[in-house]
């Protein structure tokens, strides 16, 4: 689903729209220009480049407007102090949580309307998950809608305003996140034997 939204796949049916305008079938660069960016599961940074250079790559589409790019990076450095503190360090030298912060912040360089997060806690320890939690909240506070696919259901729904439960591409439930968390059947669906068969999609 995220690949279809971001332009990596062309949907066979249905419609993807943003603010009433259709974006399905557009090339990935056009989707980014329309205001949608995606943070991949893992390996989103160029390890041999510095934090600052990774951020500059996030602003590739606005590179010709140097004043705008400089201003936006300064705004993000204020929101995420790590970006300035480690600006000249290579991404390879960052911890897992620090890398996640840079990946998330880099997605915000073009000031997108929507940020797609693909399994942001995959393979992370609890401490790093806390970093991801707070960083995701900051993305939302900076004005972007977050669409997150996450198998750690409690994590996703605690962050979200709305949640969608899907199985093999079929929507099973679509309710406010708090209501989904309170459903008695959620324990059996996600925290019991069926947990591996379902995904939750959270919109914050």
Summary mean pLDDT of the chain: 89
For residues 201 and 160, what is the distance between their CA atoms, to the nearest angstrom? 9
For residues 200 and 190, what is the distance between their CA atoms, to the nearest angstrom? 9
In this prediction, residue 167 has a pLDDT band, given cuts at 50, 70 and 90, of confident
Alpha helices by DSSP H, the chain: 2-6, 28-34, 51-58, 66-79, 82-85, 96-107, 126-141, 153-159, 177-182, 185-190
For the cut 60, the answer to whether the pLDDT of residue 194 exceeds it is no
Q: What is this structure's pTM?
A: 0.86
pLDDT tens for 41-73 read 877 899 999 999 999 999 988 888 899 999 999
For the cut 60, the answer to whether the pLDDT of residue 4 exceeds it is yes
Domain ranges of the chain: 2-150
Which CATH architecture does the domain made up of 2-150 adopt? 3-Layer(aba) Sandwich (3.40)
SS3 content of the chain, % helix, strand, coil (to 5): 45, 20, 35
For the cut 50, the answer to whether the pLDDT of residue 174 exceeds it is yes
């Amino acid at each position: 689903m995220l690949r279809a939204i971001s332009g990596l796949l062309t949907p066979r049916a249905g419609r993807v729209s943003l603010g009433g305008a259709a974006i399905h079938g557009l090339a990935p660069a056009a989707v980014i220009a329309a205001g949608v960016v995606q943070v991949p599961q893992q390996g989103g940074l160029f390890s041999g480049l510095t934090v600052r250079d990774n951020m500059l790559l996030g602003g590739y589409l606005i590179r010709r407007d140097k004043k705008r790019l400089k201003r936006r990076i300064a705004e993000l450095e204020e929101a995420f102090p790590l970006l300035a503190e480690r600006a000249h360090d290579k991404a390879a030298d960052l911890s897992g949580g620090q890398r996640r912060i840079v990946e998330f912040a880099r997605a915000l360089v073009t000031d997108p309307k929507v940020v797609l997060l693909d399994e942001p806690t995959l393979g992370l320890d609890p401490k790093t998950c806390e970093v991801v939690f707070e960083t995701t909240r900051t993305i939302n506070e900076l004005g972007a809608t977050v669409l997150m696919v996450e198998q750690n259901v409690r994590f996703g729904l605690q962050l979200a305003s709305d949640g969608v439960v899907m199985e093999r591409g079929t929507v099973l439930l679509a309710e406010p996140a708090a209501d989904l968390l309170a459903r008695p059947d959620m324990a059996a669906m996600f925290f019991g034997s069926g947990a591996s068969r379902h995904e939750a999609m959270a919109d914050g």
